[in-house]
Structure 1
Amino acid sequence: MKAEPAALAAGVAESTDSRVEAHNDTHLMRSLLVGIFILMAIYALYFAKAFFMPVILAFLLALTLTPIVRFLRKHGMPDVISATLLVVLSVSVLAVAGYLLSGPVIDLINNTSSIGQQLTERLAQLRRPFERIVEISRQIEGLTEPSQEPGVQRVAIAQSMAQSGLLSQAASNLLSAGTSVLIVFVLSLFLLASGTMFYEKIVQSFPSLSEKKRALRVVYDVEREISHYLLTVAVINTCLGVVIGLGLWALGVPNPQVWGAAAALLNFLPYIGAAITITLVAIMALISFDSISYALLAPAFVILCDTVEGQFVTPTVVGRRLEINAVAILIAIAFWSWLWGFVGALLAVPLLVVIKVFCDHFDGLSHVGNFLAAQHTVIEDEEISDTEKAAGA
């Protein structure tokens, strides 16, 4: 009789061990499936970027313009009309900006060699310790300079063929870029004009009324926060570009509209974009002004504008809850720039904000949103919880 409880306990222990082992196996299998899915998604995004890039750009553009469409809907304007007007206005602004900036940008590209030579001359006094190295490199260049032999004609022909190949590649890239831009604006038009169709489809996908309400609440919250963030950041960056352009125009920097547009566009790349803008403005100021002290006013003005925008304007208008920590931003920029080049780098932070907002609305993904959040946000949340505990005590 005493052996029965022992056998029963052994059976219970064996059953528990088997359940734990089965649970571990299930968890491992689930982790492997998630890892395989992520690798396949990265593979698809990399090799099918011609499809995914304009689609994602269209969705982000539609989210950016959604608050305006919603505002006009409340005032009696149909979604189709407001969406058409907004897309046509966006295309017009892009076309006008491209036309106005094309001339100065082409001139800068054509004068790249002369700009580099002028910059080298301006910085000659700062590279005195390296004069010996420069002299050695010049001697090596003189030794390796090709002589005028019959082979020179063959090299010239090869360069001509290479240039023709580059022209054909540039034409192909231009055609592909034009197709992608057309897809972006047409798809964003249909997304904006569809109104609440997607919300109705989401509601119809759930059986119970409570699940329908919860899904609709989550979708509305995510859409509202992301659209507010994208539209606000776009307006802030535009204002920043206008201020920098006007300031550089007042200082006498050549082509201030180009640097204002570059500042607005590159400001979608936190930290890196501002550094690139400051460097470009500093180079142009150094080769444009005789006084180095006066030339430094231009990059100093850009630094001041970027500091005010990054430390005061954006946190106040957007809110600190949607701020992302610097490590996650740099990793995202590196990843998306490797995946999709410069366009991917511009999309890195908006996509990161989309992921964070989505994760914040689901308990199972809250740890991912917490990891992406800025450090001060976590500290503020802990202080709030400690205050609530003290108040409850």
Structure 2
Amino acid sequence: MSPSPDETPEPTPVVRPSRSLFGVLLGIFLILLVYALYFAKDFFLPVVLAFMLALTLSPIVRSLAWRGIPAPLSATLLVFLSFCGVAVIGFVLSGPVVALVEDAPNIGRQLQNRLAEIEGPLSRIMQAGDQIESVTESASEPDVQKVVIAQPGIVSRAAGNLLSVGTTVAIMLVLSLFLLASGSMFYEKLVQTFDLMSDKKRALRIVYDVEREISRYLLTVALINAGLGFAVGMSCWLLGLPNALLWGVAAALLNFLPYVGSLIGIVLVSVISIVTFDTLSAAALAPLLYVGFTVLEGQFITPLILGRRLELNAVAIFIAIAFWSWLWGFAGALLAVPILVIAKVFCDHFEGLSSIGNFLGAQDARETAE
């Protein structure tokens, strides 16, 4: 029996997924994403590095394009200069790094002798602990033979690491070249995915805002860190510290890790200073200058140039550094803060993600913005 024309059919109920189901699916997706990033590190790491380099150099390419220089030409020139810079720094630092690694046992012995007065009581406690452990091992299971698994030598490990780093750098440079040379093709493809003109304009505005803020941050921080590295290297050279160029480059790289990087650099310079100079007062000068430079950079120069808007939550910084260093090692630790800045800028442009962006920001970020 067919329904009469006056009867209105009941609408089909729309089944919407519950919040709990959505949360479970999101958790599964995040777990799978972390596994993919961990096991596919050799693929994702150069890709992320290429995007970071492309974002850093994109304002220069666009500025040169406004002056009539084609994007492929300027991109090729910038990537070639980046390759030359990395190659020259790697070649110059290879000798000091190898010498420092080979001399590490001697440096350890010298440091122990210089700090003998301070660590005297501690060394006696450690020796007593070692004696107790040796007596315990000899008393229990005397007939058990220990099997030592042979590990690859330092030369083979260094060769493998050098090959891996070379492959990563090559993929990064080639991919960043294509990204920079493509110009606005990525944005054109993005706009074509929307139907309404209002959505096209909004997507284009968000993409350009995110790119401008992130590229400004990355380029500015890179220049500031280079200046810090120059100041640390020059101070080490003037004080007579060996391998001053190495410590300058290390200071520039480690400064991409807020708080943690500066602490590591200060400890390294302190160890070399204690081993190099005769008195502790002379050895304290280089670390004190390092501390002064980092305080000047972190508290005055960077906030003055970048402003307070992109300041990050210290807790979020430590969590990001721990997570990405576990995921991708030292390279991941260097990328942790730039990735955090990208996430914050992206969240700030969407109302639904503004709470996440507010959490990632510093405590006074909202007051500063107002």
TM-score > 0.5 by shorter chain: yes
Using the alignment, how far apart are the partners of 1:59 and 1:233 within structure 2?
Answer: 16
1:253-299 C-alpha deviation (Å, 9 max, x unpaired): 11111111000000000000000000000000001011111110110
The structural deviation recorded for 1:141 is: 9.8
Determine which of 354, 360, 363 is the counterpart of 1:366. Answer: 354
Determine which of 242, 247, 253 is the counterpart of 2:230. Answer: 242
Query: Partner amino acid for 2:28?
Result: I
Instruction: Tell me what 2:94 maps to.
Output: 102
Question: 2:159 matched to 1:171?
Answer: yes
Map residues 81-230 of structure 1 onto 2, 5 A cutoff: 81-136=73-128, 162-164=151-153, 167-230=155-218
Using the alignment, how far apart are the partners of 2:196 and 2:126 within structure 1?
Answer: 76
Instruction: Tell me what 2:50 maps to.
Output: 58
% identity of equivalent residues: 57
Query: Partner amino acid for 1:377?
Result: A
Using the alignment, how far apart are the partners of 1:134 and 1:123 within structure 2?
Answer: 15
The structural deviation recorded for 1:336 is: 0.4
Query: Partner amino acid for 1:326?
Result: A
The alignment of Structure 1 onto Structure 2 pairs a total of residues equal to: 351
- Counterpart secondary structure, 1:375: coil
Query: Partner amino acid for 1:99?
Result: F
- Shift in alpha-carbon separation, 1:125–1:377, aligned structure 2, 3 A: same
Q: Which runs of no fewer than 5 residues in structure 1 stay unpaired?
A: 1-17, 145-154, 385-393
Map residues 307-322 of structure 1 onto 2, 5 A cutoff: 307-322=295-310
- Shift in alpha-carbon separation, 1:143–1:61, aligned structure 2, 3 A: same
Q: Which runs of no fewer than 5 residues in structure 2 stay unpaired?
A: 1-12, 137-146
The structural deviation recorded for 1:130 is: 2.7
- Counterpart secondary structure, 1:321: coil
Determine which of 283, 292, 305 is the counterpart of 2:280. Answer: 292
Question: 2:223 matched to 1:231?
Answer: no
Question: 2:283 matched to 1:283?
Answer: no
The question of whether the paired residues in 1 share the 8 Å contact of 2:309 and 2:368 is answered with: no
Deviates more, 1:48-57 or 1:29-38: 29-38
Determine which of 65, 73, 76 is the counterpart of 2:68. Answer: 76
- Counterpart secondary structure, 2:241: coil
Determine which of 313, 316, 333 is the counterpart of 1:325. Answer: 313
Using the alignment, how far apart are the partners of 1:74 and 1:303 within structure 2?
Answer: 42
Query: Partner amino acid for 1:109?
Result: V
- Shift in alpha-carbon separation, 1:335–1:299, aligned structure 2, 3 A: same
Using the alignment, how far apart are the partners of 1:137 and 1:104 within structure 2?
Answer: 37
1:115-142 C-alpha deviation (Å, 9 max, x unpaired): 0000000001112333532553676799
Using the alignment, how far apart are the partners of 1:45 and 1:138 within structure 2?
Answer: 41
Instruction: Tell me what 1:15 maps to.
Output: none
The structural deviation recorded for 1:37 is: 1.3
- Shift in alpha-carbon separation, 1:348–1:33, aligned structure 2, 3 A: same
Query: Partner amino acid for 1:130?
Result: L
Structure with a larger share of its residues in helix = 1
- Shift in alpha-carbon separation, 1:119–1:55, aligned structure 2, 3 A: same
Instruction: Tell me what 1:35 maps to.
Output: 27
- Counterpart secondary structure, 2:364: helix
Query: Partner amino acid for 1:190?
Result: F
Instruction: Tell me what 1:301 maps to.
Output: 289
- Counterpart secondary structure, 1:257: helix
Using the alignment, how far apart are the partners of 2:220 and 2:32 within structure 1?
Answer: 34
The question of whether the paired residues in 1 share the 8 Å contact of 2:308 and 2:368 is answered with: no
Query: Partner amino acid for 2:352?
Result: G
